[in-house]
Structure 1
Amino acid sequence: MNKLLLLSLGGVMLTACSQGANKDGVADKAMSEEGRAVQTNSSAVEIPSDLKLRDDKLIPKQVEAKEAVQAGLLTGELQVIQNNGLSVLLSITNNQTYGVLIQYRSGMTADLQIMDPQGEKVWAWSDDMMFTQALRDTSIASGQTIKAQFTVPEVVLAKLKGRGYSLVAKYVGHATESSQVAMTDVSVSLDPYIN
């Protein structure tokens, strides 16, 4: 952030210091569409966007690599096996270099839902379950994977008609020492499993 500020201030100073005067002693400047002052006389040289001027030489700009956007502290993966309905395994992995402290607000670790093509929930694994209401605190070590197993009954699949349905796993743990979400939802299409 400081580099950007310094570059911006440096550009303003260069612009202010390099203002020339035409033969009448009046600066020959105009405003571009972006609101920056640009020279309009014939001796002005336009600097390409991938270059910058340093010590009266054009040099390539250094482009800083952007970090990948990480949606959550933990990553999830769904594995689906067709077997008298569906057997679904959610693997939750801590790919951080440190342990992540997690709090569960009930006995449930994750939920599995079926969403219709419009994004509305049509079934949830937890609908017919009951969970303790006790708080649970745990730590998931760096590189550790925990698993949650679900079953989608064949009766539920038989009610689904058409394409566009998806399975969505929702991890319910909350990171206690970070404002970042513990894990984003993981989804997979049900199209290969619906007749």
Structure 2
Amino acid sequence: MKTGLAVMINVAGVAAIAMSINACAGVHPASSGHHLGGHQGSRLQDEASMNLGVLQGALTQEADTWVLTVTNPTASPVYLSFNSGQNGDLALVAANGQVLWRWSESYMFTQAMRESTVAAGGVREVKFTVPAEVLAKAKPGMQWQASFNGRLVTTGDAAMAVTRVKIE
């Protein structure tokens, strides 16, 4: 018991020191910890609609894979935080707004907080493999929606708006 208690105190101490360091560096301590569990796709979509973000997205299809290309068009690096190992999400959405399929529902992700940087002019790719039966459901009037899960370290805001491709 004594050893376990000492470990808990040390972990708490390290967390307190990390929060102090982040505060001094201008990092919002809760910027990446809003929802540590559960599904976040709809929250990101709603927030991204309000905040256009700093990064730009383009969604392209290569056979059964959709590629979300994330670009930093600015002259400065963009510092990002992530709540999990998930970089982004892809959804097939009906004309009435109903989500028919979501890529992330087939996966589990680590719940590790992490940070990353997209250099000035830098590009990142997030790839989503879509099952053939889902591709077959895609009909005119529907759309593909891709979101990038990176959040701005300084504000906690979505770093990029949701990218949409309407099916013609």
1:126 deviates by 0.5
1:180 deviates by 4.9
1:153 deviates by 1.2
1:179 deviates by 6.0
Identity of aligned residues (%): 32
Give, in whole Å, the separation in 2 of the partners of 1:87 and 1:179: 29
1:80 alignment counterpart: 61
Q: Does 1:188 align with 2:165?
A: yes
Deviation per residue, 1:41-89 (Å, 9 max, x gap): xxxxxxxxxxxxxxxxxxxxxxxxxxxxx821100011113x3xx3111
Give the match's secondary structure for 2:101. strand
Q: Any runs of at least 4 consecutive aligned residues in structure 1 with deviations exceeding 3 A, and if so which? A: 178-181
What is the CA RMSD across the aligned residues, in angstroms? 1.6
**Which of 87, 94, 106 is the aligned partner of 1:128?**
106
Q: Give 1:188's aligned amino acid.
A: V
Give, in whole Å, the separation in 1 of the partners of 2:112 and 2:52: 28
Give, in whole Å, the separation in 1 of the partners of 2:65 and 2:157: 30
Q: Does 1:101 align with 2:79?
A: yes
TM-score, normalised to structure 2, is: 0.65
Q: Which has the higher strand share?
A: 1
Deviation per residue, 1:10-34 (Å, 9 max, x gap): xxxxxxxxxxxxxxxxxxxxxxxxx
1:26 alignment counterpart: none
Indicate conservation of the 8 Å contact 1:73/1:180, yes or no. Answer: no
TM-score, normalised to structure 1, is: 0.57
Q: List runs of 5+ in structure 1 lacking aligned partners.
A: 1-69
Cα 1:120–1:74, aligned 2, differ >3 Å: closer, same or farther?
Answer: same
1:167 alignment counterpart: 144
Give, in whole Å, the separation in 1 of the partners of 2:72 and 2:162: 15
- Give the structure with higher Rg (CA): 1
Give, in whole Å, the separation in 1 of the partners of 2:105 and 2:156: 29
2:33 alignment counterpart: none
**Larger relative contact order (CA 8 Å, sep ≥ 6):** 2
Q: How does 1:109-120 map to 2 (within 5 A)?
A: 109-120=87-98
Give, in whole Å, the separation in 1 of the partners of 2:58 and 2:143: 14
Q: List runs of 5+ in structure 2 lacking aligned partners.
A: 1-50
Query: Size of the alignment, in residue pairs?
Result: 118
Indicate conservation of the 8 Å contact 2:83/2:113, yes or no. Answer: yes
Q: How does 1:52-91 map to 2 (within 5 A)?
A: 71-81=52-62, 83=63, 86-91=64-69
